[in-house]
Chains A and B, each alone.
Chain A
Amino acid sequence: MARFHDVLIVGGGHGGAQTAIALRQNGFAGSIAIIGDEPEPPYERPPLSKEYLAGDKTFERLHLRPEAFWRDRAIDLVLGARVDFLDPTLKQVVTTGGERFGYGALVWATGGRPRRLDCEGGDLAGVHAIRTRADVDLLRSELPAARRVVIIGGGYIGLEAAAVLRKFDKSVTLIEAQHRLLARVAGPTLSRFYEAEHRDRGVDVRLASTVSRLVGAEGRVNGVVLASGERLAADLVIVGIGVAPAVEVLRQAGALGTNGVLVDDRCRTSLADVFAIGDCAARKSRFSPTAVRIESVPNANEQALTVACELTGRERDHDAPPWFWSNQFDLRLLTVGLSDGFDVEVVRGDPATKSFSVVYLREGRIIALDCVNAAKDFARGKSLVANGVLTTPGLIADVNIPLP
């Protein structure tokens, strides 16, 4: 017999948790369950590469809600259980343990799995990803014995980890395949700025370099061999080369999508009564003419609210641009909009002061801002991006003139 829930949520991360919370806030009275494969109740992921890795916050402080909350709101948490089959006709999912769950509506909120190095040695002990609490606990347990750390991937997670490890005074080498850091998500000015900051604080940044294999002894990594032939000694390796959306089960069930699962503006997949949200869902919006996956907490929350409204018959016309933050050293980055496809980059303020913004324009319209220690620009930038304000570089470059 399958247990039935009116709303069944698969994935107990940011999106899944917020869907359940918002359903109850909207007065939804049906049964709700969250099936999640991690053992912990929903917790915050961003601190994993920041305060939690640094030991500045205990895990207790990362819980999205206290344990009692879920009970009080009658939200069933089925933890440590992975869904690996979906029958969209019977409207049931099956877990690895063979348990069946029926649903009225299914919300797929499974995030993504860190991409692994598919080269020789990629699975040696001492090679870490940073996606879950378990990942970071393991990493932290090995840190005291490690002196030389090699980080593969110059995206936000790799850079945040590098910043924390420099605080611990580890020797850190960061390897990036592209010619600049953050190449996928930011313009060259921001890339150069972070490169200089990381170098200044002792990170050995290697651009345009790729890993050909990892080497080790007795099953444990002790070196990274670059395509150039150079061999870097490593007591520990961190891999931060992106995530692959966890959508195999949905795709097998027939859901459409190439990079992630495709959803419409109300987060509906091509399967009846099956929604998808967060890191695993690709959606078009006013801010992106093609369907894109956006990996951020605000995006997962926003889509969760969309689904909760859809399931409770409420209108939600929310169209705020995506945003994101990253903390490295004493640099607080706030970004709004999607800079992909910009044609002009306007630097507002002097990067040397460590407080500046980059405003991205496309055909004269503001499409995104990256604000480093410049919360005011970010706060104003949200509405500039939302409204696609037309401007000229001369109008926005001078920091003494507030943004329109």
Chain B
Amino acid sequence: MSKIIVISRDGEERAIEAENGLSVMEAIRNAGIDEIMALCGGSCSCATCHVFVEAGGETLPPPEADESDMLEASAYRRENSRLSCQLTVSSALEGLTVRVAPEE
């Protein structure tokens, strides 16, 4: 289990316990935060799991081409944009802070 901080669209901050090995998207969904649609269930196909990594992302591997390509189409893409389904929870991510991106 690792602690992840999720900031919802209305700015509310919640610390959640995320199971190592799952994706950050799954961890957010399992915590009952329903702002992330994750339509494709983590197939890197929908970009509805878009988050901004606000802190603690130093150890994250950079996005692969598919993830970047999907993000490129987002009107809200920023430097720190990621698809949360492509991020795997591990103890290295303890304290990771992500903000849910606006709805497209």
Contacts and interface: CB of A to CB of B under 8 A. Distances in A.
A298 B46 contact: yes
Nearest to B72: A379
Interface in A293-307: 297-298, 301
A44 interface: yes
Contact of B73 (A301, A325, A380): A380
Q: Which DSSP category, helix, strand, loop or mixed, fits chain B's interface?
A: loop
B69 A376 contact: yes
Nearest to A25: B34
Given A375-B70, A379-B69, A380-B73, A297 B34 contact: no
B76 to A, nearest CB: 13
Interface stretch (A59-67, A102-110, A137-145, A167-175): A59-67
Interface string A63-82: 00110110010000000000
A298 B30 CA distance: 21
Contacts of A61: 22, 26
A47 B34 CA distance: 21
For chain B, give the interface size range: 20 to 34
Interface string B27-59: 001111010010111011111000000000000
Nearest to A320: B104
B32 A68 contact: yes
A327 B43 contact: yes
A297 B32 contact: no
Contacts of B41: 44, 46-47, 62
A297 B72 contact: no
Contacts of B43: 46, 325, 327, 332
Nearest to A376: B69
A379 B73 contact: yes
B32 A379 contact: no
Nearest to A300: B39
A65 B34 contact: yes
B75 to A, nearest CB: 10
A21 interface: yes
B45 to A, nearest CB: 4
Contacts of B66: 332, 375
B39 to A, nearest CB: 6
Given A46-B43, A325-B45, A375-B66, A301 B72 contact: no
Nearest to A296: B39
B34 A332 contact: no
A382 interface: yes
B13 to A, nearest CB: 19
A301 B47 CA distance: 14
A26 to B, nearest CB: 12
Given A62-B41, A69-B34, A325-B40, A379 B70 contact: yes
A357 to B, nearest CB: 12
A151 interface: no
A385 interface: no
A382 B73 contact: yes
A21 B34 contact: yes
A327 B42 CA distance: 12
A378 B74 CA distance: 12
Nearest to A18: B37
B72 A376 contact: yes
Nearest to B73: A379
B50 to A, nearest CB: 12
A65 to B, nearest CB: 7
A371 B13 CA distance: 38
A297 B46 CA distance: 11
Contact of A66 (B32, B37, B39, B69): B32
Interface in A162-220: none
A263 interface: no
B63 to A, nearest CB: 11
A13 B33 CA distance: 19
B53 to A, nearest CB: 20
A72 B32 contact: yes
Interface in A274-303: 297-298, 301
18 contacts: A21-B34, A25-B34, A47-B41, A66-B31, A66-B32, A301-B37, A325-B40, A325-B45, A332-B44, A332-B66, A334-B45, A375-B44, A375-B45, A375-B65, A375-B66, A379-B47, A379-B73, A380-B73
Interface of A: 21, 24-25, 44, 46-47, 61-62, 65-66, 68-69, 72, 297-298, 301, 325, 327, 332, 334, 375-376, 378-380, 382-383
Q: Which 8 A-B pairs have the closest CB atoms?
A: A379-B73, A375-B69, A325-B45, A376-B69, A44-B41, A69-B32, A375-B66, A66-B30
